[in-house]
A and B are shown apart, each in its own frame.
Chain A
Amino acid sequence: MTWRAALERQRSLLDFALLALWRRRGKNLSLVLVYGLTVFAIASVVLLAGALRAEAAAVLAGGPDVVVQQLSAGRPALVAAEAVARLGAIRGVSRAAGRRWAAYADPVSHATFTVLAPEGFEGRPGEVELGAGAAAAMRWKPGEKVGLLGEDGRWHFLEVRRLLGEETALVSTDLVLLAGEDFERLFALPPDRFTDVALTVRNPRELTTVARAAVGALPGGRAVTRPEMARTYEALFDWRSGLASVVLLGAVLTFALVAWDKAAGLPADERRELGVLKAIGWETGDVLAAKLWEGVVISVAAFLLGVLAAYLQLFLAPAPLLAPVLRGWSVLSPPLRLAPSVSPLELATLFFLTVVPYTLATVVPVWRAASTDPDAVMRS
């Protein structure tokens, strides 16, 4: 057969398949719906994981290259100011900045926040800036005074200057920002002690070298590089989304069984029609091609439907069910606006987890149907 004829053949068979699907549209639409739902479930997991991964990477990109902590008896300890200077002197480090932050638990509600005294705090001593999550949890509003229980047992009252913007929600939602003096008073700390040190490294290829040097400069310390932090997030998202996909495979399997059943249990009139096709001159291969085209159309429709629905659900509306599975840590708490993104890898993965099982489940039934005996038609 020439190329032109082969193309025309496939076109005709596809046309026939479309008509055949339409003729039994009730059954086929319900199949597309169930199929699409399965795709939707898996796509939600895959896309959410991808989006969170991208967010985490973006957040970390704005953060320090290396974070150095002091350990004492295995637990984090404060870093002295001259240690910061020593770290700053390491070759390749363009900046070493001591950071002051602590975890704070509200004694009444037990809500936990991160109290941070940033270098460039714009407010005056006695003022705080709140992240959206912190403010909402404690019902604190700008202009009000909030009470924080200090390590000295006394309550310190600070005025809310403003709430931190929604764009930074991912990192700032549970933050309480205040001035250095207030931090020292609250946690009874001297001014020359820091929680950890953030290093900025000139050459990204030198990160590991610098990290090693930092540990050398700070006996008993440990250094975590940004790639290591990124990897930890990645590994976490991977594990959870992987686990979720494995669980959802159960759903896929059920769907595959449904598909197999629908394909194998042909109603009598469909079987008869296939017999007629064979009787009027269609080969098994021709019937098979038409049926495979049916499968392609159904798969494409369901795939698009499921992916689109997952995309819309995740990126245009907060994801209600899956987010807890994938977030887990209170650092990333709702509400969250994720940047929409779909990568070719995600699409390929989705294809493998949905369309391939459907195809495998229907291969043998479709072949069986295509092998219908033509002379059965004659004899009825």
Chain B
Amino acid sequence: MTLLEAREVHRVYHQGRPDEHEAVAGVSLAVEAGALTVLSGPSGSGKTSLLTLLGAMARPTSGRIFLRERELTSLPERFLTEVRRRTFGFVFQQPNLVRGLSARQNVMLPALPLGLDHAALGRRADALLEQLSVGHRARARSDWLSGGEAQRVAIARALVNDPEILVADEPTANLDSALSRQFMAIAADLKAAGKTLLLASHDPIVTDSPAVDRRVAMRDGRLEGP
């Protein structure tokens, strides 16, 4: 079943200015529910931009994005954020944890504006950190975490609102091979738990992983091949 679909989407940055740049040039892509889809391609191919479009983080300059049957493209930013908050979890190339806060506090961050019961939220954060084997570092300040620990805290953060879709942009770029394989193992677990995953990476450990259901190659803002 198609969960997420992009139809003829374009993304142009700095429109009308001398440095105008079309990062995504007419892409149509359907993402299946429960599948692990990987966007591969060199840097500058538009993977990240396409990811932001599919992940409801930005609106395409033209074209449409559908989440199930609901069109996301003409939603004002507020509603887009609502949808994104509920449906998507993001993991970035850098863990991007907020300095000065503990791992636990970082995990709770996406849910703070929702006004949920603070204690329950804390318990959920602890549970997620346990699942990702960083429970023992829950109270540690984010600056003191190692690269792999930070990445796993970032994944926990992405999962705190129990999203259907996990989006990750170059998740293994700053991890060594062992940690990268660990990451793909976590991804496989999440897929088994029913989540849909959408990754952008040019790391062979990711693209060649057996957990991957579909590989989509990109170059110069367009899809290559089938």
Q: Is the CB of B92 within 8 A of A9?
A: no
Surface stretch bound by A, among B49-57, B67-75, B189-197, B201-209: B49-57
User: In the complex, A175→B57 CA distance in Å?
Assistant: 80
Partner among B57, B116, B117, B161 whose Cβ is within 8 Å of the Cβ of A279: B57
> 12 pairs across A/B with beta carbons < 8 Å?
A8-B118, A9-B112, A9-B113, A12-B112, A12-B118, A23-B100, A279-B96, A281-B84, A282-B113, A284-B81, A286-B112, A378-B57
Closest chain-A Cβ to B193's Cβ sits at a distance in Å of 20
Which one of A1, A5, A276, A373 has the highest number of Cβ atoms from chain B below 10 Å of its Cβ? A276
A375: chain B residues within 8 A (beta carbon): 49, 52, 57-58
- Asked whether A5 and B115 contact (CB < 8 A) given A19-B101, A375-B58, the answer is yes
Partner among A1, A8, A273, A279 whose Cβ is within 8 Å of the Cβ of B90: A279
Partner among A9, A16, A285, A373 whose Cβ is within 8 Å of the Cβ of B114: A9
Q: Does A73 sit within 8 A of B, measured CB to CB?
A: no
Q: Does B169 sit within 8 A of A, measured CB to CB?
A: yes
Give 16 A-B pairs besides A19-B101, A378-B57 with Cβ atoms closer than 8 angstroms: A9-B114, A12-B113, A12-B118, A281-B84, A283-B82, A286-B112, A373-B58, A374-B58, A375-B49, A375-B52, A375-B58, A377-B92, A378-B52, A378-B90, A378-B169, A379-B48
Q: Does B64 sit within 8 A of A, measured CB to CB?
A: no
Residues of chain A having any CB pair with chain B under 8 Å: 1, 4-9, 11-13, 16, 19, 22-23, 272-273, 276-286, 289, 373-375, 377-379
Q: Is the CB of A273 within 8 A of B98?
A: yes
A282: chain B residues within 8 A (beta carbon): 81, 110, 112-113
Q: Is the CB of B101 within 8 A of A281?
A: no
User: In the complex, A318→B20 CA distance in Å?
Assistant: 66
Closest to A12 in B: B112
User: In the complex, A166→B47 CA distance in Å?
Assistant: 83
Q: Is the CB of B118 within 8 A of A281?
A: no
Interface class of chain A by DSSP: helix
Closest to A11 in B: B118
Closest chain-A Cβ to B17's Cβ sits at a distance in Å of 15
Interface class of chain B by DSSP: helix
User: In the complex, A279→B100 CA distance in Å?
Assistant: 19
Q: Does B127 sit within 8 A of A, measured CB to CB?
A: no
- Asked whether A279 and B92 contact (CB < 8 A) given A5-B114, A375-B58, A378-B52, the answer is yes
Partner among B48, B52, B77, B117 whose Cβ is within 8 Å of the Cβ of A8: B117
A374: chain B residues within 8 A (beta carbon): 52, 57-58
User: In the complex, A126→B115 CA distance in Å?
Assistant: 84
Residues of chain B having any CB pair with chain A under 8 Å: 48-49, 51-52, 57-58, 77-78, 81-82, 84-85, 90, 92, 96, 98-101, 109-110, 112-118, 157-158, 161, 169
Closest to B169 in A: A378
Q: Is the CB of A281 within 8 A of B48?
A: no
Q: Is the CB of A13 within 8 A of B113?
A: yes
Closest chain-B Cβ to A282's Cβ sits at a distance in Å of 6
Closest chain-B Cβ to A264's Cβ sits at a distance in Å of 22
B49: chain A residues within 8 A (beta carbon): 375, 379
Q: Is the CB of B115 within 8 A of A280?
A: no
Q: Is the CB of B115 within 8 A of A1?
A: yes
- Asked whether A281 and B100 contact (CB < 8 A) given A5-B115, A12-B115, the answer is no
Closest chain-A Cβ to B111's Cβ sits at a distance in Å of 8
User: In the complex, A172→B48 CA distance in Å?
Assistant: 83
B84: chain A residues within 8 A (beta carbon): 281
- Asked whether A6 and B115 contact (CB < 8 A) given A280-B110, A379-B48, the answer is yes
A289: chain B residues within 8 A (beta carbon): 113
User: In the complex, A68→B19 CA distance in Å?
Assistant: 85
User: In the complex, A278→B169 CA distance in Å?
Assistant: 16
- Asked whether A283 and B98 contact (CB < 8 A) given A377-B92, A379-B49, the answer is no
Partner among B51, B101, B116 whose Cβ is within 8 Å of the Cβ of A5: B116
A11: chain B residues within 8 A (beta carbon): 118
Q: Is the CB of A280 within 8 A of B109?
A: yes
Q: Is the CB of A16 within 8 A of B92?
A: no
- Asked whether A277 and B118 contact (CB < 8 A) given A284-B77, A284-B78, A378-B92, the answer is no
Closest chain-A Cβ to B103's Cβ sits at a distance in Å of 14
Q: Is the CB of B112 within 8 A of A13?
A: yes
Partner among B78, B96, B109 whose Cβ is within 8 Å of the Cβ of A377: B96
User: In the complex, A276→B96 CA distance in Å?
Assistant: 7
Partner among B77, B85, B92, B99 whose Cβ is within 8 Å of the Cβ of A281: B85
User: In the complex, A217→B82 CA distance in Å?
Assistant: 84
A377: chain B residues within 8 A (beta carbon): 92, 96
Closest chain-A Cβ to B149's Cβ sits at a distance in Å of 18
User: In the complex, A279→B80 CA distance in Å?
Assistant: 12
Closest to A275 in B: B96
Closest chain-A Cβ to B115's Cβ sits at a distance in Å of 3
- Asked whether A281 and B115 contact (CB < 8 A) given A19-B100, A23-B100, the answer is no
10 A-B pairs with least C-beta separation:
A5-B115, A9-B115, A286-B113, A281-B85, A8-B115, A23-B100, A375-B52, A12-B112, A281-B110, A280-B110
User: In the complex, A16→B113 CA distance in Å?
Assistant: 10
A8: chain B residues within 8 A (beta carbon): 115-118
